[in-house]
């Protein structure tokens, strides 16, 4: 009864946007990852990929804010370049 009143969370919005983009681009997806935006295209004839589903997992980490949380919890050493 009240489900439609809930605000969609960022991961749900990202998935919805990806589905819309996929339908519009004919199978090509644009993903937002910590490393920037990537385009993913399915190869129906391929049996495997070099990175598997890594791009989608990276988008999940970026959109959900988990990547930023992991980075902020890391200890930074004085004088390091990282």
pLDDT tens digits, 39-69: 887 777 777 777 778 888 888 898 888 988 8
Instruction: Tell me the average pLDDT of the chain.
Output: 75
Q: What is the pLDDT of residue 3?
A: 60
Residue 65 is assigned to a structural domain of this protein: yes
The more confident residue out of 32 and 26 is: 32
Environment class of 32 (CB within 10 Å of its CB; exposed 0-12, middle 13-18, buried 19+): middle
Residue 4 is assigned to a structural domain of this protein: no
Q: What percent of the chain has pLDDT over 90?
A: 0
The count of domains in the chain is: 1
DSSP designation for 17: H
Residue 2 is assigned to a structural domain of this protein: no
Q: What is the pLDDT of residue 1?
A: 54
Residue 1 is assigned to a structural domain of this protein: no
Q: What is the pLDDT of residue 15?
A: 74
The residue segments making up the domain with residue 60 are 9-41+50-73
């Amino acid at each position: 009864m009240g489900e439609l009143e809930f605000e969609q969370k960022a991961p749900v919005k990202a998935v919805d946007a990806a589905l819309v983009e996929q339908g519009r681009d004919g199978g090509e997806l644009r993903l937002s990852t910590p490393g920037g935006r990537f385009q993913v295209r399915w190869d129906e004839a391929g049996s495997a990929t070099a990175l598997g589903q890594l791009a989608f997992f990276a988008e999940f980490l970026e959109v959900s804010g988990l990547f930023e949380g992991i980075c902020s919890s890391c200890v930074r050493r004085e004088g390091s370049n990282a």
